Amino acid sequence: MTERPRLSAIVIAKNEAADLPDCLASLAFCDEIVVVDSGSTDDTVAIARAAGAVVRVTEDWPGFGLQKQRALDLSTGDFVLSVDADERIPADLADEIRAAIERGDRAGWRINRRSSFLGRFLLHGGWYPDRVLRLARRSAARFSPDLVHERMVVEGAVGDLDRDMIHHSYRSIDEVLDKGRRYALASAAERRSRGKRGGLVIALPRATWAFLRHYVLKAGFLDGAHGFVAALAKAQETFWRWLAVGWEK
């Protein structure tokens, strides 16, 4: 009889006490949960340990890609599932994940995210469907070293799962502004290190295009006021990213 494949879930976190309990509860179907914390000052570490997770606390912050690679390196399962603290794996998706790794006919699988924005699930504007590569055979997976907007890279054939992952992306305007600022500055630093050019003359047209692409071309207007604000937030992040790339430090 073939032994059942083991599945490790990996989560990186910092001050995620509000989100982590529901996230970890949704990962109870996994054989192992690994949480890598980057210096939380709330109960994140205690919550993770109480849930039975393997916990590693790091002193530095190398960026999202390298931090997720640390979590991947700590995992021991045959397959690995990467989940963020603000994401949830519903029971129907958990069943589909188990069935997929037991078949083992792919090196990795993309999972569709259904994301909420200020209390509403968005279905347009590029928000849905949103397929992300998050499940893979551990030996075939690695993470790109990007500071932000990292991605899982898999060697081998990749398939798609049908069920949705739930993503509570932005719950308040404060969170929209805070995340947008942090992501824009991290992304700008990365682009600057690669010799990219920026400044006002580049930032303005890119931000305008980002808004039109998400609100008009990708039909964000069908999500009403939430779609407008989401497109505006994307434009704002784009503007500050490209302005910061070329602005004098």
What residues pair up with 152 in beta bridges, in sequence order?
Answer: 143
CA pair distance 85, 234, nearest whole angstrom = 21
pLDDT for the residue 192:
86
Give me the pLDDT at residue 2, please. Answer: 65
> Which is nearest to 10 in space by CA: 190, 117, 172, 152?
152
H-state helical runs in 20-63: 20-26, 44-50
Write down the pLDDT at residue 249.
54
Task: Count CB-CB contacts under 10 A for residue 90.
Answer: 14
- Sequence-distant (≥ 6) Cβ neighbours of residue 139 within 8 angstroms: none
What is the mean pLDDT for each group of 10 consecutive residues in the chain (249 residues)?
88 97 98 97 98 96 96 98 98 98 97 97 96 98 94 98 96 94 89 87 96 98 98 96 82
* pLDDT at res. 248: 56
Residue type, 162: D
Task: Please report the pLDDT score of residue 234 as a whole number.
Answer: 96
* pTM given for the model: 0.92
Tokens of 244: 């910061």
Name the token pair of 188. Answer: 């700008």
For residue 249 the two structure tokens come to 């430090």
- Residue 113 corresponds to which tokens in the numbers above? 């995210």
| Encoded tokens for 39 | 């210096």
Quick one: tokens of 195?
């010799």
Beta strands (DSSP E) in 118-157 are 120-121, 130-137, 141-143, 152-154
Assigned token pair, 227: 């779609």
CA distance 13 to 36: 6
